[in-house]
Amino acid sequence: MGADRSRLLARTAIVSRILPFSCVDGPGNRLVIFLQGCNFRCPGCHNPHTIGLCDHCGGCVPGCPSGALTMAEGRVSWQASLCTQCDRCTDVCPRQASPKTSIMSVAEVLAQLHRYAPLLTGVTVSGGEATTQLPFVVALFTQIKADPELARLDCLLDSNGSLAPAGWQRLLPVLDGAMLDLKGWRDGVHRALTGYDRERVLASLQLLARCGKLTELRLLQVPGQSDFLGEDGALDPGLAAFLQSLGPVPIRLNGFRHHGVRGAALDWQETSREELERLAKALINKGFGSVSLPALI
């Protein structure tokens, strides 16, 4: 094994969990790797326990009813075999982190892929925000492409779009497609819903569209917060022009729900089916034909 290959296999990531089979994280049947850590701070996040990284303060240990959490050499240790998934540890964590993570190498993920490969269409790396652990993602996708038994699997990324252009250039050679969220159009709204400016997200959408790697653009509709529609119910002209500049990209609409949400966003109104249908109609009226809604809401 060459030195370069050895370095690739040595890459590791903090993994929140691996879902062996999913039909909602890209086309077909997919193995999904949820990486821990996110640079956005979305108040309406459905997976807030994937945002932060554990600082091993130990505050979650006393409340663990099954003894799955212990302190060992100044670090929180988690025993999966004892865990009852009560989530008390994530409920009390002030960092929006989880002690129930694993350090996994590329080789360990590849072993799981080999186990399930006959039943899979592809692999999706999600989060948290997957690109905060970019070296691991690049190494994993590179190894998948180089493996005769896995090369047929398509490699997708579920991202918030905050990656810099130089990072995308590292990833593009081994990336089959990316699914990106746009959670607000005007910068102030985007910042309120994500804690982050929109410029990098828009630039990522444009770059991926130019390269033919923008698999799906997702718009999140939050009642009383979102600004995709004007007061007349029509699509915001600036947003319409931007979307048209991307070319024929599939658009998926998502509605805000309370599931998993903590804090002030629990007071937000949930999105109705009718509200999503109004947004879909406004998009279709502007010539965007490939618009999909959630199966259930």
Write out the DSSP string of 137-206: HHHHHHHHHH-TTTTTSEEEEEE-S---HHHHHHHGGG--EEEEEE--SSHHHHHHHHSS-SHHHHHHHH
Question: Does residue 86 belong to any structural domain of this protein?
Answer: yes
Whole-number pLDDT of residue 96: 86
Are the beta carbons of 130 and 162 closer than 8 angstroms?
A: no
217 plus 137 within the same structural domain: yes
Whether the CA torsion 23, 148, 136, 116 is positive or negative: it is positive
Distance from C-alpha of 15 to C-alpha of 238, rounded to nearest angstrom: 38
Whether the CA torsion 123, 128, 131, 134 is positive or negative: it is negative
Q: Distance between the two ends of the chain, CA-based, in angstroms?
A: 50
pLDDT digits (tens, 9 = 90+) for 14-49: 999 999 999 989 999 999 999 999 999 999 999 999
DSSP-assigned letters across all residues of 122-151: EEEEESS-GGGGHHHHHHHHHHHHH-TTTT
pTM of the shown model: 0.92
What CATH code is carried by the domain that includes residue 41? 3.20.20.70
Nearest by Cα to 211 from 235, 247, 185? 247
β-strands 154-159, 122-126 pairing: parallel
Question: Does residue 90 belong to any structural domain of this protein?
Answer: yes
43 plus 148 within the same structural domain: yes
CA dihedral 29, 216, 112, 98 (to 10 degrees): -120
Residues in the chain: 297
229 plus 260 within the same structural domain: yes
Question: Does residue 250 belong to any structural domain of this protein?
Answer: yes
What CATH code is carried by the domain that includes residue 79? 3.30.70.20
Domain count, the chain: 2
Distance from C-alpha of 110 to C-alpha of 116, rounded to nearest angstrom: 10
Across the range 88-103, mean pLDDT stands at 91
- Residue 9 pLDDT level (bands cut at 50, 70, 90): very low
23 plus 110 within the same structural domain: yes
89 plus 133 within the same structural domain: no
Question: Does residue 297 belong to any structural domain of this protein?
Answer: no
Report the SS3 class of residue 12.
strand
Q: Report the amino acid identity of residue 187.
A: D
pLDDT digits (tens, 9 = 90+) for 97-154: 999 999 999 999 999 999 999 999 999 999 999 999 999 999 999 999 999 999 999 9
Domain that holds residue 288: 3-49+101-292
